[in-house]
Amino acid sequence: MQATRQWMMAMVMTANMIAAVGARAGDLTPPGAPGSTMHTLDEIYQQLLATRLQVADTQQQVADLEARLNADGKHVTVGDMVLIPAGSFVMGATTNVGHETISDAAPQHTVMVSAFYMDKYEVTSNLWAGVYTWATNKGYAFGTGWCGKAATHSAHSVDWYDAIAWCNARSQRDGFTPCYTNANGTVYTNAAGNSFAGGCNWAANGYRLPTEAEWEKAARGGVANRRFPWDDANTIQHARANYYAQPSSYTYDTSPTTGYHPSYNTGGTPYTSPVGSFAPNGYGLYDMAGNVFEWCWDWYSSTYYTSSPGTDPAGPASPLTYRVLRGGSWYFAEAYARVAIRLNLHPGDEYDYLGFRCARGL
């Protein structure tokens, strides 16, 4: 599959190079009447147009191939991101199969989500630091709370404002269009003041926080009616995730070890684990339960599910007070690792159990 994708992408790159050469050729005006080996500007334009159409067709073929591979249960990856295919899923607490009620995760409702890319891993300390250094040399400003226990551990103590500014910086560093803009349309770069009055350009191809619906669709891994991100059980153990185990309090916690994860409760808090330490879910995503809570784009409302749109919901209208986080953490009990659980905190909060991962539109 990977070889096929690389071949297809090579075709796109080659076609783009041909288009670029054609564009440069279009700047040349023949010195006289066209000869047998010369072309008029109109002919050059027509050739360039045909080439661009071929590029668009090849790109569509790549997209179709990705969709077919995902439909077959294979993971399409771009770097360290995974393509989450378009489709509908049932969002909310799985009371339909007898699981416990979660008041703000009800009622269950069907949501259609467009295709998007999602980071395989939570943003690591190493990745955060690399983008942070690039960004601060380009005029970005951040708060001072972020940390990381080790290079391959999740970056933590990141507030929501820093996360969205960092997403913009990562986008610009990697040649994508930033998603987050100020009210005047400029790129959001100053997170140090813990304020944001702008919005998200959903048509941009840059990195961003996932919406709450995108996060839950990705976390479920293409499987319905499960408490957790895995598809073979509705129970949790330390063998599956980094969380605070209390098997005596929850029947669905069957971990033989209790409390903090015994493999990572050393060296002082936070007891984060290296990303990817546990098996991935059905979409190939790691740590969708435990390690650090992950910021989402959405404002939080406890009653949002009663009126949320059926297609690509992006949270209630702003401004409200709190933003949504998902996924549980090393510090929280098993109940918070359920895929339907919705944590809410002030966007300026910085705790050592908070982190994030990025999404990106197609």
Point out which residues pair with 41 in neighbouring strands. none
pLDDT in tens, 180-226: 999 999 999 999 999 999 999 999 999 999 999 999 999 999 999 99
State yes or no: pLDDT of 315 exceeds 60: yes
Rounded distance between C-alpha atoms, residue 198 and residue 201, angstroms: 10
Query: What is the predicted pLDDT for the residue at 78?
Result: 64
Among 203, 187, 194, 186, which Cα is nearest to 142's?
Answer: 194
Cβ-proximal residues to 114 (8 Å cutoff; 6+ apart), any chain: 86, 312, 361, 362
Per-residue confidence at 64, pLDDT binned at 50, 70, 90? low
Higher pLDDT, 354 or 7: 354
Among 338, 339, 303, 337, which Cα is nearest to 320's?
Answer: 303
Cβ-proximal residues to 307 (8 Å cutoff; 6+ apart), any chain: none
Assign 253 to helix, strand or coil: strand
b/e sequence 19-38, b meaning 16+ C-beta within 10 Å: beebeeeeeeeeeeeeeeee
Angle between helix 41-71 and helix 2-25 axes, rounded to 10 deg:
160
State yes or no: pLDDT of 313 exceeds 50: yes
State yes or no: pLDDT of 362 exceeds 80: yes
Mean pLDDT of the chain: 87
Per-residue confidence at 66, pLDDT binned at 50, 70, 90? low
Query: What is the predicted pLDDT for the residue at 61?
Result: 53
pLDDT in tens, 137-160: 999 999 988 899 999 999 999 999
CA distances from 61 to 8, 81, 207, 281 (A): 8, 20, 24, 27
Cβ-proximal residues to 315 (8 Å cutoff; 6+ apart), any chain: 211, 212, 296, 297, 298, 299, 300, 301, 304, 324
The answer to whether 183 touches 201, Cβ cutoff 8 Å, is no
Query: What is the predicted pLDDT for the residue at 56?
Result: 55
Rounded distance between C-alpha atoms, residue 217 and residue 46, angstroms: 44
Structure tokens at 58: 């090849």
Cβ-proximal residues to 237 (8 Å cutoff; 6+ apart), any chain: 245, 253, 254, 255, 256
Per-residue confidence at 110, pLDDT binned at 50, 70, 90? very high
Query: What is the predicted pLDDT for the residue at 45?
Result: 64
State yes or no: pLDDT of 269 exceeds 50: yes
pLDDT in tens, 272-312: 999 999 999 999 999 999 999 999 999 999 999 999 999 99
**Strand-pair category, 109-113 with 199-200:** unpaired
Rounded distance between C-alpha atoms, residue 12 and residue 289, angstroms: 37
The one-letter amino acid at 105: A
The one-letter amino acid at 301: S
Query: What is the predicted pLDDT for the residue at 318?
Result: 82
CA distances from 3 to 13, 62, 74 (A): 15, 13, 13
Q: pTM for this structure? A: 0.81
Query: What is the predicted pLDDT for the residue at 38?
Result: 56
